[in-house]
Amino acid sequence: MAKLYFKYGAMGSSKTAQALITKYNYEENDMRVWLIKPATDNRDGASVVKSRIGLMAEAEALGPDADLFELFPLRHADVVIVDECQFFTPEQIDQLRRIVDELDVPVLCFGLRSDFQTKLFPGSRRLFELADSIQEIKTICDCGSKATVNARVDGDGYVVTEGAQVVLGGNDCYIAMCHRCWQAAIREHKKVKLHTKG
């Protein structure tokens, strides 16, 4: 019996890498994968899913008006893998739930739980309400504690606490932190170290 899976973690926890490895595993068993992502995420190109460690694959980018349940039968897939699922609308998460329930097809969603203000993304909130299986993909803060906050950092290296919920970026403007370090960085208004490629 198919299930709806939600695998979430902070920035840098290898969510996309795990999504792509999962895709590979299904395809090794001659199963067809519909790899999708929200059109909001265009950092690596409109139709590419790419992890920080270099894994990448072609994907279908879908806007907020796309009906995932209606599109699925046209894709002739055995499984749906979703990257950056937090950017899909709650209605689209409901459509993924329908794929599981009505078509008996597994759907595996990978994404963030919360934004830079520690507030749930709407898509993630709906997955917490609907998913059959919820798993945290862990990563660590610079202090060694488990990272739970996706801290947004400005060009000067200070933690940002106001602004739009969605601002795309990677290691250049986000850092995974534990809640204690995040609060300390805000309170002390101190610079944090970004993990930029050099």
Report the catalytic residues: 84
Tokens of 123: 């898509």
| Cα 48 from Cα 101, distance rounded (Å) | 28
| Cα 146 from Cα 142, distance rounded (Å) | 9
| Cα 170 from Cα 172, distance rounded (Å) | 5
| Cα 65 from Cα 92, distance rounded (Å) | 9
**Radius of gyration from C-alpha coordinates of the chain:** 17
CA geometry: angle 123, 179, 137, nearest 5 deg = 50
Cα 98 to Cα 37, 67, 191, distances in angstroms: 18, 11, 45
Tell me the residue type at 114. S
Cα 56 to Cα 44, 102, 172, distances in angstroms: 9, 30, 20
